[in-house]
Chains A and B, each alone.
Chain A
Amino acid sequence: MPEPEPQPHPQPPRYDPLEPGDGEAIAPTGQGGQMDLALDEAESLERVIPPGPGNPREKARSLWSDAWHQLRRNPVFVLSSLLIVFLVLIAIWPSLIASGDPLQCDLAHSQEGSAPGHPFGYDTQGCDVYTRTVYGARASITVGVCATLGAALLGAFLGGLAGFFGSWGDALLSRVADIFFGIPVVLGGLVFLSVVTSDTVWPVVGFIVLLGWPQIARIGRGSVITAKQNDYVQAARALGASNARMLLRHVAPNAVAPVIVVATIALGTYIALEATLSFLGVGLRPPTVSWGIDISNAAPQIRNAPHMLLWPAGALSLTVLAFIMLGDAVRDALDPKLR
Chain B
Amino acid sequence: MAELSKTDEAVDAPAEATEEKAIAAFEAPVERGEPILQVRNLVKHFPLTKGVLFKRQVGAVKAVDGVSFDLYQGETLGIVGESGCGKSTVAKLLMLLETATAGEVLYKGQDITKLSGRALKAVRRNIQMVFQDPYTSLNPRMTVGDIIGEPFEIHPEVAPKGDRRRKVQELLDVVGLNPEYINRYPHQFSGGQRQRIGIARGLALNPEIIICDEPVSALDVSVQAQVINLMEKLQDEFNLSYIFIAHDLSIVRHISDRVGVMYLGKMAEIGTDAQIYDHPTHPYTQALLSAVPVPDPEVRENRERIILTGDVPSPANPPSGCRFRTRCWKAEDRCATEEPLLAIPTRFKGQDTPAAHVSACHFAEEKTVLAV
On A, residues with C-beta under 8 Å from B are 1, 3-7, 28-32, 34-35, 37-39, 41-42, 45-46, 49, 57, 59-61, 63, 230-232, 234-242, 245, 249-250, 253-254, 334-337, 339
Between A and B, 25 residue pairs with Cβ closer than 8 Å are A3-B191, A7-B188, A28-B222, A34-B226, A38-B176, A38-B192, A38-B226, A41-B193, A49-B188, A59-B183, A61-B183, A231-B137, A234-B97, A235-B137, A235-B198, A238-B95, A239-B205, A240-B120, A240-B121, A249-B142, A250-B139, A254-B141, A335-B141, A336-B141, A337-B187
Q: Mark B176-211, 1 if CB is under 8 A from A, else 0.
A: 111011110101111111001010010001000000
In the A-B complex, list the 3 residue pairs whose CB atoms are closest, starting with the nearest: A231-B137, A240-B124, A28-B222
The segment from B34-42, B150-158, B265-273, B298-306 that touches chain A is B150-158
Assess whether A239 is in contact with B154, with CB atoms less than 8 Å apart. yes
Assess whether A30 is in contact with B225, with CB atoms less than 8 Å apart. yes
Kindly list 14 other residue pairs between chains A and B, CB separation below 8 angstroms, not including A5-B190, A29-B221: A1-B218, A38-B176, A38-B196, A42-B193, A49-B188, A61-B183, A231-B136, A234-B137, A236-B154, A239-B205, A253-B139, A335-B140, A335-B141, A336-B141
Q: Decide yes or no: A235 and B201 within 8 Å by CB, A6-B189, A240-B121, A250-B139 being known contacts.
A: yes
For A245, list chain B residues within 8 Å (CB). Answer: 154
Closest to B198 in A: A235
Assess whether A239 is in contact with B140, with CB atoms less than 8 Å apart. no
Most buried by B among A7, A39, A235: A235
* Contact among B125, B131, B182 for A235, CB-based, below 8 A: B131
Assess whether B139 is in contact with A254, with CB atoms less than 8 Å apart. yes
Q: Decide yes or no: A237 and B97 within 8 Å by CB, A42-B177, A60-B183, A232-B136 being known contacts.
A: yes
A55 to B39, CA, bound (A): 49
For B224, list chain A residues within 8 Å (CB). Answer: 28
Q: Decide yes or no: A28 and B192 within 8 Å by CB, A231-B131, A234-B97, A235-B137 being known contacts.
A: no
A251 → chain B, closest Cβ, in Å? Answer: 10
The answer to whether the Cβ of B138 comes within 8 Å of any Cβ in the partner chain is yes
A248 → chain B, closest Cβ, in Å? Answer: 12
B347 → chain A, closest Cβ, in Å? Answer: 37
* Contact among B147, B151, B155, B182 for A60, CB-based, below 8 A: B182
The answer to whether the Cβ of B143 comes within 8 Å of any Cβ in the partner chain is yes
A29 to B229, CA, bound (A): 10
* Contact among A232, A254, A337 for B137, CB-based, below 8 A: A232
The answer to whether the Cβ of B145 comes within 8 Å of any Cβ in the partner chain is yes
Size of the chain B interface, CB-CB below 8 angstroms: 54
Assess whether A34 is in contact with B178, with CB atoms less than 8 Å apart. no
The answer to whether the Cβ of B342 comes within 8 Å of any Cβ in the partner chain is no
A183 → chain B, closest Cβ, in Å? Answer: 22
B240 → chain A, closest Cβ, in Å? Answer: 16
The answer to whether the Cβ of B129 comes within 8 Å of any Cβ in the partner chain is yes
A230 to B147, CA, bound (A): 14
B235 → chain A, closest Cβ, in Å? Answer: 15
A235 to B128, CA, bound (A): 9
A31 to B226, CA, bound (A): 9
A61 → chain B, closest Cβ, in Å? Answer: 7
B193 → chain A, closest Cβ, in Å? Answer: 7
Q: Decide yes or no: A232 and B138 within 8 Å by CB, A6-B187, A6-B189, A34-B225 being known contacts.
A: yes
B19 → chain A, closest Cβ, in Å? Answer: 15
Assess whether B142 is in contact with A63, with CB atoms less than 8 Å apart. yes
The answer to whether the Cβ of B170 comes within 8 Å of any Cβ in the partner chain is no
A30 to B96, CA, bound (A): 36
A336 → chain B, closest Cβ, in Å? Answer: 5
B363 → chain A, closest Cβ, in Å? Answer: 36
Assess whether B226 is in contact with A235, with CB atoms less than 8 Å apart. no
Assess whether B192 is in contact with A41, with CB atoms less than 8 Å apart. yes
A12 → chain B, closest Cβ, in Å? Answer: 12
The answer to whether the Cβ of B257 comes within 8 Å of any Cβ in the partner chain is no
Q: Which of B102-152 contact A (CB under 8 A)?
A: 120-121, 124-125, 128-129, 131-133, 135-143, 145, 147, 150-151
For A60, list chain B residues within 8 Å (CB). Answer: 143, 145, 182-183
B273 → chain A, closest Cβ, in Å? Answer: 16
For A250, list chain B residues within 8 Å (CB). Answer: 139
Assess whether A57 is in contact with B97, with CB atoms less than 8 Å apart. no
A32 to B236, CA, bound (A): 14
For B136, list chain A residues within 8 Å (CB). Answer: 230-232
A55 → chain B, closest Cβ, in Å? Answer: 9
The answer to whether the Cβ of B312 comes within 8 Å of any Cβ in the partner chain is no
Closest to B135 in A: A1
The answer to whether the Cβ of B230 comes within 8 Å of any Cβ in the partner chain is yes
For B218, list chain A residues within 8 Å (CB). Answer: 1
For A231, list chain B residues within 8 Å (CB). Answer: 131-133, 136-137
Assess whether A3 is in contact with B178, with CB atoms less than 8 Å apart. no
For A334, list chain B residues within 8 Å (CB). Answer: 141
Q: Decide yes or no: A57 and B180 within 8 Å by CB, A34-B230, A231-B133 being known contacts.
A: yes
Q: Mark B31-74, 1 if CB is under 8 A from A, else 0.
A: 00000000000000000000000000000000000000000000
Closest to B185 in A: A336
Assess whether B225 is in contact with A28, with CB atoms less than 8 Å apart. yes
For A232, list chain B residues within 8 Å (CB). Answer: 136-139, 147
For B129, list chain A residues within 8 Å (CB). Answer: 235, 238
Assess whether A238 is in contact with B97, with CB atoms less than 8 Å apart. yes
A32 to B228, CA, bound (A): 11
For A236, list chain B residues within 8 Å (CB). Answer: 150, 154
Assess whether B185 is in contact with A39, with CB atoms less than 8 Å apart. no
Assess whether A37 is in contact with B131, with CB atoms less than 8 Å apart. no
For A238, list chain B residues within 8 Å (CB). Answer: 95-97, 124, 128-129
A236 to B201, CA, bound (A): 10
A333 → chain B, closest Cβ, in Å? Answer: 12
A238 to B124, CA, bound (A): 6
For A3, list chain B residues within 8 Å (CB). Answer: 135, 191
Q: Decide yes or no: A240 and B141 within 8 Å by CB, A28-B221, A42-B177, A235-B201 being known contacts.
A: no
Closest to B229 in A: A34
For A242, list chain B residues within 8 Å (CB). Answer: 154
